[in-house]
Structure 1
């Protein structure tokens, strides 16, 4: 790979070469070691991929045999995210994953990237060409809005009810895709009903006023029936504070499942409800800017005297007064679903998932930094209603297994948003900017996939999927606001419709050169609906006849090692892969200065790099792990306003991520002690310029944080029945208290006026923090 900067290039190549050398040397050294069958945890599956309709996490043995790049984050790993943490903090422990936010309060949203492809939205400027291209599911149920692709990490705000997380890098097999799988998939697997009655309750407390309460209760199995209910609530302030305002947030999530097991299968009924909200502080100038103060501007447009607002003058973690500006950002979701599994014959199985999901977003924004700004007050409350079904038949034949089936998704999305300012003579009924558009979308897919065992050690899995995306757009803005000036409608075009159909071929292969060593690869295509909604998005500002499906062309090649027992290699797991993705036909939203709408750029971008990971228990009770990812991305084509920026790097992507850590288990006097220490590094990123609406070669600094935790579990025995164990977990993050920004961009002046145009705004990362959780298990 070609990295910019000779020093950076040498450092990254040296790091990759030595890690790969270690992987290769270890593989050779253990070639004569004794091969053993490691135990597989109960409830894990032995399939060769993470089924999108599955409630189970794949075993390491299954991952070894897969032709895809996969990763599982266990319950033990999730505990180290901290009390009341949401999904994003946990995902950052996986290779190639980067998570960043504007705030650390409960309910805050994060941007998450996997090998540079993003999901979530934390407001880090424009130019997010790939946002929403990661498919996110809860218990196999899609959570992405099919129209926009958007999923927010604060829709999973309570990790105590999550059993583990399965990740697929790249689009994955055709049998496991939904509609946003270009860059990968994340499946949050919740707790399952247990065989015997059980319960747990816990409380958490920590820095920034964090308070958390969580529980789960399982009924055990009675005449084939079992049930579980779990949930939690969190309240906290942000580390971004100022002038008495602490940018607070809160979140809750509740989940329930009822399951019936019968002789040839099972049926389950699940429900999930979550809501999260937090005040979202503005980005802060990295350097002081003349005229940009903590007191804003007066009605004549003159800066009010006061302390300059920047990381170097008003405080690195500072924010503006509540009376000057505040923005409440809320996301909520609830879903209900049922899953049926049947063994129709000894060689034919059937699975069906039927679900309904409602999603809602709300922004309440009052910006008096410029009191006469026509868009001072924002009321944004879009929603979506989705119903879907996916069915799969799996036929086991003498030398192969054929999976075939399809899915149906129907979604209604309303993009309602209003801007006004009483000082400018506008109101909620006569707004200065508005939209209220409806998008009716139907997604269809049919697939067939054949897992062929050419030899006992060599598998090849060709697959074919046909997809159809239908969208009907209706401009309802002027009908909703008949008194408003029609020129203030963000939607510039009349009603329209599109209907796209495409074929997605895919093939993967896995060769177990030894029972413990697999070499694998995959290649294929996948398509995605161009994301609609938002200010000036497709259909609203682009002719429907000009739209194309976004396309991913990708391949991966790598190796995996697992299942070895030799000196200093116990429960050894190591892997490395090279990936390549060409993302074409991109529709790219670009903010417009002091306007509620957006322009649209077009482009195609290339992502390629290396992922390396290793886990080992060199001696009993000592666990070591490391992940390293090196990434390069650039635009083959990027054009906005008739200007070409071909060849520039894709913005907002770390060129490297790295983590390394160790934990040790020590048992004494019916107590289990597990201290853990780990370091996380995030490389530099190229900035996007809102001023030019284009990527740049300006880079922000890299950063790293050191973290530690201690988990103590007391086995109560007969001392306090029915209490079985009591656990205390203490987590310290960024223990060296480094100051760093998780994201930066070049402003056009929208937040702080013309004086700030061309300057860099930053989003500070969290300072040192300590969290504790006390739980009892019955």
Structure 2
């Protein structure tokens, strides 16, 4: 069970897009290999290499069935084989929908080119179309262990950031907050780590192309260098494109381009990796179709000499021309990171992850067909953020237990830019009717310690604690202009800051009652920094807010045996 305490509200719309009948044609290449050998080095397979120390379990490799069964937390994983069963237009977002308790929703929830909401046992993250939903940022999403969530914006994660299936080795999922070592600032309802293909000891390449309904196309290539003098590398490219099933003058295209690389150097007692990831998603979001006709709302705009716009009059699949209504969404990410694993003594291993992420969001909307007299029938919303972070921790193996202890520090600078204007009234992006500029500076620090005790064979007890400090500073750079924005109150709270300190205790245990059955249970108290809304809507009276609190506990049994019932 979980109890959430939060004060927030998100209002939006829900749509759905189906992409059917896609055909994928993969081509596997391996230098000097037979077709069978080439098949064996499919770039999606993670291979063990050399004498290096194994990387951190949840962060860098897909969990095995045995590892999952012995966890005190509720965890699961999506294998490369499962991902390959999905349609090529799908990304890791759709892959995790194969797990129990995970639901993907949105106006195009079957396609990786459109923003969707991820829900894990009722707690959500990402684009949200549900009016009144109070929790839209309660799950941490990771790319190869690097956090993708904004530190401040309530909908500051977009599912289109997630790699397509061709670039993925698998996905690890923690239900609930998880242990302190794997817990992040938004892990109230869960943590999802999308693990890209890792460098392999064998050279090879995978190339694929697909085409399907609604002009859906996906082209991808992954190449492995193989292991040479302790070095190995992988590079992956993916391009996806599709239209929607809507019928009208404009067919609402969407595309997603992704580039990923990782280089690893193995040495005696450890390894170091350098990785990079770029994603640019551009889509035209389909608009809402009224079930019943609304007086004056036509296919040509407000009170135009055109058929009424609704499911009953113009049809369920109809759409508006883009000179009446459109919304363009762009999501752009640049991520660079370095990971070091090194054994520093006979029983202690050091792990360090350093990363930088730059993110851009662009919303460009025209609603001239229905609010033509408004001073803001057009909007241009372009926030961006720069985040730098480091997570350093140690694992110490003792006779009956394993200690893990360390900390992470993250600093983020988020800049909101909102222009509202109407060219018919003489305003534009260069001379807007209202323009807002506001800045958030967030500094998150967390220290943690946990112990994995095995007093007797088959019993594992994991107590732990995480101490968090969430510091938020808000600077309003245009208080007068912001007064015109609906719901904004920058003039009341122009520049404020808030600092939270909380202790997050947790404990979990698992016991192998049978060779194929494990009883487990866990309890945790976690906190989250309050987040702001989008479109330059700051938090109302930031100094008066309290952090979101989650109390989570669970007990269950895992069974892993073939032929259990016959």
SS state at 2:454 partner: strand
**Aligned residue runs from structure 1 range 218-257, under 5 A:** 218-242=224-248, 244-257=249-262
User: Does structure 2 retain, via aligned residues, the 8 Å contact 1:80–1:90?
Assistant: no
- The 1-side partners of 2:484 and 2:431 are apart by 12
SS state at 2:60 partner: coil
- The 1-side partners of 2:250 and 2:124 are apart by 31
- The 2-side partners of 1:340 and 1:361 are apart by 31
- Taking structure 1 as the reference length, the TM-score comes to 0.63
- Report which stretch shifted further, 469-478 or 224-233: 469-478
| Alignment length (residue pairs) | 512
- The 2-side partners of 1:567 and 1:68 are apart by 24
- The 2-side partners of 1:342 and 1:106 are apart by 36
Could you list the per-position Cα deviations for residues 127-157 of structure 1 after superposition, in whole angstroms to 9, with x for gaps in the alignment?
Answer: 2211111100000011111111521111125
Match of 2:427 in 1: 426
2:264 aligned to which of 237, 252, 259: 259
Match of 1:553 in 2: 551
Q: Which has the higher strand share?
A: 1
- The 1-side partners of 2:475 and 2:482 are apart by 19
The structure-2 alpha-carbon separation of the partners of 1:432 and 1:80, relative to structure 1 and needing over 3 Å to count, comes to farther
The structure-2 alpha-carbon separation of the partners of 1:384 and 1:65, relative to structure 1 and needing over 3 Å to count, comes to same
Match of 1:148 in 2: 153
**Aligned residue runs from structure 1 range 53-202, under 5 A:** 54-103=59-108, 107-122=113-128, 124-149=129-154, 150-202=156-208
Could you list the per-position Cα deviations for residues 281-324 of structure 1 after superposition, in whole angstroms to 9, with x for gaps in the alignment?
Answer: 11111233333322221xxxxx2243222223222222211111
The structure-2 alpha-carbon separation of the partners of 1:60 and 1:95, relative to structure 1 and needing over 3 Å to count, comes to same
- The 1-side partners of 2:218 and 2:542 are apart by 47
User: Does structure 1 retain, via aligned residues, the 8 Å contact 2:419–2:434?
Assistant: yes
The structure-2 alpha-carbon separation of the partners of 1:390 and 1:567, relative to structure 1 and needing over 3 Å to count, comes to closer
**Aligned residue runs from structure 1 range 512-527, under 5 A:** 512-527=512-527
Per-residue deviation, 1:428: 2.5
Per-residue deviation, 1:566: 4.6
Match of 2:352 in 1: 352
Match of 2:437 in 1: 436
User: Does structure 1 retain, via aligned residues, the 8 Å contact 2:47–2:200?
Assistant: no
User: Does structure 1 retain, via aligned residues, the 8 Å contact 2:504–2:524?
Assistant: yes
Match of 2:36 in 1: none
- The 2-side partners of 1:409 and 1:235 are apart by 34
Match of 1:396 in 2: 397
Per-residue deviation, 1:454: 2.4
User: Does structure 1 retain, via aligned residues, the 8 Å contact 2:168–2:196?
Assistant: yes
SS state at 1:88 partner: helix
SS state at 2:301 partner: coil
Match of 2:500 in 1: 500
The structure-2 alpha-carbon separation of the partners of 1:462 and 1:166, relative to structure 1 and needing over 3 Å to count, comes to same
Match of 1:323 in 2: 323
- The 2-side partners of 1:97 and 1:106 are apart by 16
- The 1-side partners of 2:305 and 2:98 are apart by 45
- Structure of larger gyration radius: 1
**Aligned residue runs from structure 1 range 583-732, under 5 A:** none
User: Does structure 2 retain, via aligned residues, the 8 Å contact 1:105–1:249?
Assistant: no
The structure-2 alpha-carbon separation of the partners of 1:485 and 1:250, relative to structure 1 and needing over 3 Å to count, comes to closer
Please provide the CA RMSD for this pair: 2.2
SS state at 1:308 partner: coil
Per-residue deviation, 1:545: 2.3
SS state at 1:77 partner: helix
Match of 2:21 in 1: none
Per-residue deviation, 1:535: 4.1
- The 1-side partners of 2:430 and 2:227 are apart by 56
Match of 2:25 in 1: none
User: Does structure 1 retain, via aligned residues, the 8 Å contact 2:402–2:453?
Assistant: yes
Could you list the per-position Cα deviations for residues 603-634 of structure 1 after superposition, in whole angstroms to 9, with x for gaps in the alignment?
Answer: xxxxxxxxxxxxxxxxxxxxxxxxxxxxxxxx
- The 2-side partners of 1:454 and 1:224 are apart by 38
The structure-2 alpha-carbon separation of the partners of 1:375 and 1:499, relative to structure 1 and needing over 3 Å to count, comes to same
Match of 2:40 in 1: none
- The 2-side partners of 1:51 and 1:152 are apart by 26
User: Does structure 1 retain, via aligned residues, the 8 Å contact 2:91–2:111?
Assistant: no
Match of 1:312 in 2: 312
The structure-2 alpha-carbon separation of the partners of 1:497 and 1:339, relative to structure 1 and needing over 3 Å to count, comes to same
User: Does structure 2 retain, via aligned residues, the 8 Å contact 1:216–1:231?
Assistant: yes
- The 2-side partners of 1:378 and 1:125 are apart by 22
Per-residue deviation, 1:93: 1.2
Gaps of 5+ in 1: 2-39, 45-49, 298-302, 570-778
Match of 1:643 in 2: none
- The 2-side partners of 1:245 and 1:190 are apart by 35
Match of 2:287 in 1: 282
- The 2-side partners of 1:239 and 1:248 are apart by 10
- The 1-side partners of 2:120 and 2:367 are apart by 34
- The 1-side partners of 2:162 and 2:329 are apart by 15
Match of 2:449 in 1: 448
The structure-2 alpha-carbon separation of the partners of 1:536 and 1:274, relative to structure 1 and needing over 3 Å to count, comes to closer
Per-residue deviation, 1:194: 1.2
2:416 maps to 1:415: yes
The structure-2 alpha-carbon separation of the partners of 1:330 and 1:182, relative to structure 1 and needing over 3 Å to count, comes to same
User: Does structure 2 retain, via aligned residues, the 8 Å contact 1:158–1:231?
Assistant: no
User: Does structure 2 retain, via aligned residues, the 8 Å contact 1:43–1:56?
Assistant: no
Match of 1:381 in 2: 382
Per-residue deviation, 1:485: 8.2
SS state at 2:83 partner: helix
User: Does structure 2 retain, via aligned residues, the 8 Å contact 1:53–1:139?
Assistant: no
- The 1-side partners of 2:59 and 2:423 are apart by 52
Could you list the per-position Cα deviations for residues 41-95 of structure 1 after superposition, in whole angstroms to 9, with x for gaps in the alignment?
Answer: 9659xxxxx9587210111111111011111111121123312323322222111
The structure-2 alpha-carbon separation of the partners of 1:340 and 1:53, relative to structure 1 and needing over 3 Å to count, comes to farther
